[in-house]
Amino acid sequence: MAVVEITPLDWSRHAISPGTTEIHSGMTTEIVRRCYDLHGFNLSVVGDSQQIDFLDPILGNLAAPDRTKCNWTVTLVQACEVVASQARSRKLWESALPEGPEATVFEVDRIRTLFVADHFEMSVDLKSRSSTVRFTSQGATYIRGTGAFWLLGEIMAATGRFLLHGACLIEIRSNQAIALFAPSGTGKTTTALALARRGMALAGDDALVLETSDDTTYLWGIPRGLKIHQQTAALMPWLSPVLGAWETDEQLVRLDALRDLVTIASTSRRRCGAVIILMAPNLTRHEIKPMSKTEAITHILSDNLRRAAGGVDANGQAAFAAIARLLAATQTISLSLGPDPCSLDSSLVTGALESNANFS
C-alpha cells in the first residue's frame, strides 16, 4: 500500500483513490468507496472512511458492491477550513438550512456549489459529472442532513431524474406506484402508513424519484427512515413495537423495521397509476374526490418548485415539465383524512380511481 507524505492543510490537492493511505499530522485514514445503484444510474462516494456513509440515511437500502462501475463520483475531503467560492460566481440563492446555519448556492462554469461557512461545501460539476464534498470537523454531522438531499437532488437533476417531496405507495394488484403529495406536517406519513397497513405497500414516505424512460414516466421511493410524530403514534397504537421512549416529539424509524407492521415495497421503478393530493383533514369521514390536473399541479409545485431571486433555474424548469407530463398521463384525486386514520383502507382509494377512470 503506497504511503504518501503530505504537508499539513494539503489534503484537497491530492487525488484520492480507494485503498490509498495518506498521512497527515501523524494520523492515517483509509480511503474507501461506497456505491449505490439508483436503477441503472450508479453513484459512488470516495473518501474518508468515517463519513463515507453520509448518504446511507437516504440511500442505504440501495447500496451496491464497491466494484460497481459508477456514472457519478462524489469525493469526500475533510478540510481544516471551508472558505467562500470565488467572487465571480453567480449567487443562485441563500437561506438558512433547517439545521440552522446559513447556506448559499453559487454557480460558475457549470459547477453548482452549496456553501455553508465553516461547515461544508458541496459542488456538482456538470462537465465532469462528479461532485466534491469538503467538510470541516464541525460540518461532519451537517453533511448528512439537508446538504445530502441537496446534493442528491442536483445529481439526479443533472441526469434527468427529479427528487420530489412526496410519499410513494404501491397498488399491489397492478404493481403501479401511487404518489402522495402534501407539505411537511400535514399528515403524509400518517396517511402513507394507514394505506400501507391496509392494502398498499410503502416504498417511501417523504421522497420519491420521478424519471422518464422511453416516453414512460416511472416513480420509485427513496427508502429512508420515517420520522414518526408522537401524534401519529397516538392515532396508530399498532406502531408501538417499533417505537422507543419519547425524548422529543419525533422518532426516526427505519423503513425495514416496519416490515412486520405494514407492507414494505421493493425499491423498483414502477409506472405511476395515480397521484393523490392530501388536503386538510375532514372532521367526519375520509373523503376522496377527483381533482383537476391544473389544481393538482399547483399543490405539487407549491412544495416542489424551487424559486430563487433570479426565478426558476433550468433544473426547476425541467422538473416542472416532468411533473406536468406525469399528471397528463395519470389520474389525480384528492384525499381528506377522517378522524380515524386506522380505518382508511386502500380499497377506498382504488375504488375511487376505478370510478374516476370510468367517468373520464
Task: Give the interface with other proteins as residue ranges (CB under 8 A).
Answer: 292-295, 297-298, 301, 305, 307, 310-312, 316-317, 320-321, 324-325, 327-328
Our CB check for other proteins shows the closer of 143 and 275 to be 275
Cβ-based neighbours of 142, under 8 Å, separated by 6 or more: 97, 99, 101, 116, 119, 120, 135
Residue 351 Cβ vs other proteins, minimum distance, rounded to whole Å? 22
Our CB check for other proteins shows the closer of 305 and 342 to be 305
Pick from 159, 160, 134: nearest CA to 147: 134
Residue 317 Cβ vs other proteins, minimum distance, rounded to whole Å? 6
Residue 298 Cβ vs other proteins, minimum distance, rounded to whole Å? 6
CA trace torsion 122, 149, 154, 193 (10° rounding): 170
In the numeric block, the cell 483509509 is attached to 30
Our CB check for other proteins shows the closer of 77 and 272 to be 272
Alpha carbon distance 207, 225 (integer Å): 10
Q: What angle do CA 242, 244, 247 make, to 5 degrees?
A: 140
Residue 18 Cβ vs other proteins, minimum distance, rounded to whole Å? 42
Alpha carbon distance 116, 105 (integer Å): 9
Residue 113 Cβ vs other proteins, minimum distance, rounded to whole Å? 22
DSSP 8-state secondary structure symbol assigned to residue 200: E
Our CB check for other proteins shows the closer of 12 and 298 to be 298
The DSSP element (H or E) to which 216 belongs, if any, is: strand 216-221
Our CB check for other proteins shows the closer of 283 and 314 to be 314
Residue 38 Cβ vs other proteins, minimum distance, rounded to whole Å? 26
Q: How many residues does the chain have?
A: 360
Our CB check for other proteins shows the closer of 243 and 301 to be 301
